[in-house]
């Protein structure tokens, strides 16, 4: 009887009883939309309404949802080996994935440490930088980060992030961090002198940065040459370079990794999100032999004593491997190129609009600001979100920033629809 009663209620209503959602103030945002199905670039809700996934479900499902190549590989793996301890054991999916990734990672990345998500990937990147110096007997305990960066929600990751809504309540418990502004075309020498001062005053172990594009800071772009100069200065001062490519990795900027756009290469790379193509959760932190070498010792305590139970889960490894195979394929590379060009064309069109500023694009990522003041989670943002959803497009504006990051497999028709709904929003607001 109770089951029948329950069945009459919508999923959205039943959700309210027991579920607590991420990044949500439930008092002001009580409604969750129930999604029943996802295929390719489309999400379908419980009433059958379809939405084009304009942000690849938070930058994960870049080869489309329920991609049959990937689900097929995972289904096969499920019959073979589901899970095994990765301490003392190894398996082919992890080995094959490491071989495939080392080929596409920025030069010098040789060793892969598995974890569960983007936050743990950066957490381990931070630990690698700190313990590298600890193992060498250097007194360096401070991390360097960009203002407004976002690196995740665990304590280390949160400490180096600069967004107060996320981490304000925990400030007293942060690891030590110094922050510098991101480089723009005009401020690089200023940023470099701030950096020099910080290097002189603090014993900096590592620099964690989102290369070229800060995702959570509302797709804020910074200057490649400026970044390169900062990285060079850090390297000269033995500061470990930790590139957080959780958002930018796997083709989104038009190259395999955002670090590929600049000459100074990272010592450590953090990966997640599109790593597993939106199918399963997993993170990875890779590093160079220089880093690995500082942990390789007869002394057990010099090892990296960090491990998650599901480390290198074979199903997630197979999903990731299938994703990499698609990424390097001619078809996907051509699609990325095609979307990049379409974005550039759309940007040109937007630039003539007086309601719009800071129009920018790199690879499949395109963003701009509406020329109005509003707060990050304010009324305008909610109205825009609703407008897009009512028109069948899932975009998640941040404050007055509208951005897209469509799956690489999006059709011309779907992409045009995203653009035209954005244009209608500009007329409407």
Ligand X SMILES: *Cc1c(COP(=O)(O)O)cnc(C)c1O
Which chain residues interact with ligand X by CB under 6 A?
117-119, 122, 150-152, 210, 215-216, 244, 246-247, 272-273
What is the smallest separation between the CB atom of 48 and ligand X, expressed in angstroms?
30
- Which is closer to ligand X, CB of 227 or CB of 421? 227
- Which is closer to ligand X, CB of 247 or CB of 418? 247
Phi/psi at 112 (5° precision): -115, 125
Report how far apart, in Å, the C-alpha atoms of 2 and of each of 7, 9, 54 are.
9, 11, 38
What is the smallest separation between the CB atom of 255 and ligand X, expressed in angstroms?
17
Question: What is the biggest distance separating any 2 CA atoms in the chain, rounded to whole angstroms?
Answer: 71
Joined tokens for residue 231: 């990285």
Environment class of residue 31 by beta-carbon count within 10 Å: exposed (0-12), middle (13-18) or buried (19+)? exposed
Phi/psi at 206 (5° precision): -150, 160
Rg (C-alpha) for the chain, rounded Å, is 22
Q: Within the chain, how many helices (H) and strands (E) appear?
A: 15, 16
Q: Please enumerate, by residue number, every residue annotated as part of a binding site.
A: 58, 118-119, 244, 273, 307-309, 396
User: How many CB atoms are located within 10 Å of the residue 59 CB?
Assistant: 23
- Which is closer to ligand X, CB of 92 or CB of 153? 153
What is the smallest separation between the CB atom of 117 and ligand X, expressed in angstroms?
4
Q: How far apart are CA 257 and CA 263, in angstroms?
A: 12
Joined tokens for residue 180: 């510098």
Joined tokens for residue 428: 């409407």
Instruction: Determine contact, residues 381/374, Cβ cutoff 8 Å.
Output: yes
Q: Please enumerate, by residue number, every residue annotated as part of a binding site for pyridoxal 5'-phosphate.
A: 118-119, 244, 308-309
Q: How far apart are CA 348 and CA 117, in angstroms?
A: 36
Could you identify the residue written with the tokens 């590139």? Answer: 243
Alpha helix (H) residue ranges in 303-329: 314-327
What is the smallest separation between the CB atom of 57 and ligand X, expressed in angstroms?
12
What is the smallest separation between the CB atom of 99 and ligand X, expressed in angstroms?
24
Q: How far apart are CA 420 and CA 416, in angstroms?
A: 6
What's CA 176's distance to the chain center, in Å? 23
What is the smallest separation between the CB atom of 119 and ligand X, expressed in angstroms?
3
- Which is closer to ligand X, CB of 60 or CB of 135? 60
Q: How far apart are CA 95 and CA 101, in angstroms?
A: 10
Joined tokens for residue 28: 């002001």
What is the smallest separation between the CB atom of 247 and ligand X, expressed in angstroms?
3
- Which is closer to ligand X, CB of 135 or CB of 311? 311
Residue 208: CA count within 13 A, CB half-sphere: 33
Instruction: Determine contact, residues 271/286, Cβ cutoff 8 Å.
Output: yes
Non-local (6+) Cβ contacts of 276 within 8 A are: 60, 282, 316, 319, 320, 323
- Which is closer to ligand X, CB of 219 or CB of 350? 219
What is the smallest separation between the CB atom of 152 and ligand X, expressed in angstroms?
4
- Which is closer to ligand X, CB of 132 or CB of 209? 209
Nearest to 340 by CA among 418, 273, 252, 416: 252
Q: Please enumerate, by residue number, every residue annotated as part of a binding site for substrate.
A: 58, 273, 307, 396
The residue number whose beta carbon is nearest to ligand X equals 118
What is the smallest separation between the CB atom of 246 and ligand X, expressed in angstroms?
4
What is the smallest separation between the CB atom of 362 and ligand X, expressed in angstroms?
15
Could you identify the residue written with the tokens 């305990």? Answer: 141
């Amino acid at each position: 009887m109770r089951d029948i009663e329950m069945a009459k209620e919508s999923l959205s209503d039943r959700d309210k009883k027991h579920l607590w959602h991420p990044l949500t103030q439930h008092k002001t945002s009580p409604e969750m939309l129930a999604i029943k199905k996802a295929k390719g670039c489309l999400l379908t809700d419980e009433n059958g309404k379809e939405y084009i996934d304009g942000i690849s479900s938070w930058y994960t499902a870049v080869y489309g949802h329920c991609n049959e190549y990937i689900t097929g590989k995972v289904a096969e793996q499920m019959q073979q080996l589901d899970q095994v301890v990765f301490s003392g054991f190894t398996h082919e999916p992890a080995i094959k994935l490491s071989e495939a990734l080392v080929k596409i990672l920025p030069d010098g990345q040789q060793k892969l440490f598995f974890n569960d998500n983007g936050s743990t990937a950066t957490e381990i990147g931070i630990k690698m930088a700190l313990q590298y110096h600890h193992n060498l007997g250097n007194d360096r305990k401070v991390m360097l980060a960009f203002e407004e960066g976002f690196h995740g929600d665990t304590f280390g990751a949160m400490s180096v992030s600069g967004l107060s809504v996320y981490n304000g309540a925990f400030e007293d418990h942060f690891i030590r961090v110094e922050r510098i502004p991101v480089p723009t075309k005009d401020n690089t020498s200023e940023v470099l002198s701030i950096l020099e001062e910080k290097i002189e005053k603090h014993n900096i172990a590592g620099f964690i940065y989102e290369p070229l594009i800060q995702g959570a800071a509302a797709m804020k772009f910074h200057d490649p040459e400026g970044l390169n100069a900062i990285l060079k200065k850090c390297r000269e001062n033995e500061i470990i370079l930790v590139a957080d490519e959780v958002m930018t990795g796997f083709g989104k900027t038009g190259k395999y990794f955002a670090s590929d756009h600049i000459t100074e290469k990272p010592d450590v790379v953090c990966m997640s999100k599109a790593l597993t193509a939106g199918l399963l959760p997993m993170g990875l932190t890779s590093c160079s032999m220089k880093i690995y070498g500082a942990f390789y010792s007869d002394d057990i305590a010099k090892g990296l004593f960090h491990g998650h139970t599901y480390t290198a889960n074979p199903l997630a490894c197979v999903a990731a491997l299938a994703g990499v195979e698609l990424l390097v394929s001619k078809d996907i590379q051509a699609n990325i190129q095609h979307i990049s060009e379409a974005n550039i064309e759309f940007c040109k069109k937007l630039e003539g609009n007086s309601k719009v500023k800071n129009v920018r694009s790199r690879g499949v990522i395109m963003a701009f600001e509406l020329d109005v003041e509003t707060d990050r989670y304010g009324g305008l943002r909610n109205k825009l979100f609703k407008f897009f959803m009512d028109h069948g497009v899932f975009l998640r504006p941040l404050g007055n920033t509208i951005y897209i990051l469509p799956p690489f497999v999006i059709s011309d028709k779907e992409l045009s629809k995203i653009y035209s709904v954005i244009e209608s929003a500009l007329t409407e607001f």
